[in-house]
Amino acid sequence: MNLTLHVWRQKDVATPGQMVRYDAPNVSEHMSFLEMLDVVNEGLILKGDEPIAFEHDCREGICGSCGFMINGIAHGGFKNTTVCQLHMRHFEDGDEVFIEPWRATAFPVMKDLIVDRSAFDRIIASGGYVSVSTGSAPDGNALPIRKQDSDLAMDAAACIGCGACVASCPNAAAALFTGAKISHLAHLPQGQPERKERSLRMVRQMNAELFGNCTNIGECEATCPKGIPIEVIASMNGDFLAASWQERPPVEIAGAG
Amino acid sequence: MASAALDSKLHRTLRFYEATNGKKTVMALTGAALWGFVIIHLLGNLQVFLGPDKLDKYGEALRATGALLWVARGGLLLCVVLHITAALQLMALKAKARPQPYVKKVATTSTYASRTMYWSGPVILGFIIFHLMHFTWGVPGIHPDFVDGAVHANLVKGLSQPLAAVLYLTAMSMLLFHLYHGIWSMFQTMGLSHPRYTPLVKKAAAGIAIALAGGNIAIVVSVLLGIVK
């Protein structure tokens, strides 16, 4: 099949970019979306042009490196699918395809389709440490956890930090990402002593990174390649509320001891 | 990038409000209060179907509460101010969070109601101001023949103006959308979500929003059809 691509080209973070039209002839339906771009890039390199820069690593939908907007939907809009797992059989001959990077102040475009997502790393880092016993391997089942809780923690931990939630959100909010990270640990017995402060720190860091606010629209949930539900946002909201209520100034001299 | 340390000189209430979650909590709580007002306001208004005397007497009874009425009015005004202030601040943040729009952006599963909260809100505010000038203050030119205390007669005359009736119907349909998203959304904001109950909350929110807007629309339509005279 032959496609027409409209791709966002941007030299670097400081230079304004624009959409550029490319022809993608002889695209095989067996290709993944990234393989299609690889072929287009081969053509650009042969012509002496700069290839289209995009992030990718595992190409099996688990690393969270790839991701951009395809026709106005993060990762192209197929359920639980990253761009690398999106196959060209979903497109038809003659289709026009718009390809744009995630857009958010917190995600500056570095080049073409590559954005800097280190704001996500700073949100995770702001959560601080998790108290876990180290040393010899713990006994199996020594730390009891309800099946329900371990399932919920695992569902939230499926987040690969691709940034599609921010990209899909009309407010460029990182509530689904931060909610997933907070909710993931909140359901586990490890790190319970830090739970409240963690939710305060991570929400405040999310705000400091200039992500927008959540308006409970649900676009994030719909485009999340890991199908993380907005229930994790409610979980974050609840933890933040409780932690804010109980937050108190540090005392000079501790009473105990 | 500014770090978000736990220690801050800000008062803890301001520190709470400073976060987007704090502003959303204020919007949820004030929204709940205003929703409560919409319910009581409709219940009061529905007395229009019980004959002309009922509504006039209800008006008198409300005024007779004196100071209590002013406390309620003050509380509602405070809720409106807080709700709008938080909304404006979050709107400003939204603009800052994505200054460069997408060339192409498609909404997938989000509802029309959820995407138009920033539109339905101002429409409702504009309507409330008009509504107060129309039926509370009886501003000449806005209301054709306002008589202080004659609630029922004022209502029938006021809603018989075609332009005013259209305004009421438009505002009520916007209220329907605003209430639907607002009612279920306040649960999510307050941290209440459950795979079993949230779908029920959404359905209840739709039902309540339709009932509240529909009740008000019924009054306007009844006056236009001459059922209420």
Nearest to A210 among B97, B115, B193 (CB): B97
Short-list B33, B40, B43, CA closest to B74: B33
Confidence of residue A181 (pLDDT cuts 50, 70, 90): very high
Q: How far is B147 from chain A (nearest CA, A)?
A: 43
The least confident of A46-55, A60-69, B19-28, B49-58 is B49-58
B6 lies in some domain: no
B3 lies in some domain: no
**Average pLDDT value for residue range A55-64:** 95
B4 lies in some domain: no
Short-list B72, B73, B76, CA closest to B84: B76
In chain A, domain spans: 3-100, 117-246
Number of domains, chain B:
1
Cα–Cα dist B229/B226, whole Å: 6
Domain residues for B114? 12-224
Using DSSP, state whether A247 is helix, strand or coil. coil
The alpha-helical segments, DSSP class H, found in chain A are 33-46, 118-126, 147-157, 164-168, 175-186, 195-208, 219-223, 231-246
The pLDDT assigned to B51 comes to 85
Nearest to A216 among B3, B108, B188 (CB): B188
Q: State whether A212 and B115 contact (CB < 8 Å).
A: no
Give the tokens for residue B22. 């704090």
B2 lies in some domain: no
Q: Which A-chain residues 151-170 have CB contacts (< 8 A) with chain B?
A: 168, 170
B50 lies in some domain: yes
**Contact residues on chain A for B190, CB-CB shorter than 8 A:** 237-238, 241
- pLDDT at residue B8 above 90? no
CATH of domain A3-100: 3.10.20.30
pLDDT in tens, B18-47: 999 999 999 999 999 999 999 999 999 999
CATH of domain A117-246: 1.10.1060.10
User: What is the ipTM metric for this complex?
Assistant: 0.90
pLDDT in tens, B161-189: 999 999 999 999 999 999 999 999 999 99
The pLDDT assigned to A256 comes to 64
Which one is predicted more confidently, B10 or A82?
A82
B145 lies in some domain: yes
Fold: same for A3-100 and A117-246 = no
The one-letter code for the residue type at B31 is: G
The pLDDT assigned to B126 comes to 96
B5 lies in some domain: no
Q: State whether A234 and B22 contact (CB < 8 Å).
A: no
The pLDDT assigned to B1 comes to 43
